[in-house]
Amino acid sequence: MLKPYSPLLFIIALSILNAVGMLATSAFFSWFTKTRRKTAVKLAPYESGMPVLGDARERFSVKFYLVAVLFIVFDVDIVMLFPWGVAWQQMPALRLVLFAEVVTFVLILVVGYLYVWKRGALQWD
């Protein structure tokens, strides 16, 4: 009964084994080489040549994350127009229905974009 799923189960098991193996190898080499010590070489400027000014765990503004999420949402939505274009070419009998669907889809995107814009999510203060 599970024979059709055996390749999928094999890939899942291999992925889990790979992840555990990489974590174990990293922990082993970290312990083995004792790389947790702060030395002058580690604290020296990296590629940019700028000296380190503070902690790497600085807080970012929520606006940064909001703009990033909005970019991903609108980008993925626009990518959804490609299958619509393929269906438009392959199904000429349904072109009126497809046109109504894409107009509805784009209107929803525009309303969402206008809402986000009016709320001030795209302003960098």
Q: Answer yes or no: do 75 and 29 share one domain.
A: no
- How much is the pLDDT for 125? 67
- Predicted model pTM: 0.48
Q: Answer yes or no: do 70 and 105 share one domain.
A: yes
Residue 120: HSE in the Cβ half-sphere, 13 Å Cα cutoff: 3
Q: Answer yes or no: do 113 and 66 share one domain.
A: yes
| Residue 31 resides in a domain | yes
| Residue 13 resides in a domain | yes
- CA-wise closest residue to 109 among 97, 117, 121: 117
Percent pLDDT > 70 in the chain is 90
| Residue 124 resides in a domain | no
| Residue 22 resides in a domain | yes
Q: Answer yes or no: do 28 and 76 share one domain.
A: no
Q: Answer yes or no: do 70 and 22 share one domain.
A: no
Per-residue pLDDT for 8 more than 80?
A: yes
Give me the number of domains the chain comprises.
2
Instruction: Place 52 in a pLDDT band, splitting at 50, 70 and 90.
Output: low
DSSP H helices, the chain, are 6-33, 40-43, 62-79, 81-90, 95-118
| Residue 114 resides in a domain | yes
**pLDDT single digits (tens) 64-121:** 788 888 888 888 888 888 888 888 889 888 889 989 988 998 899 889 889 888 988 8
Domain residues for the domain of 30 are 3-43
Per-residue pLDDT for 44 more than 80?
A: no
| Residue 34 resides in a domain | yes
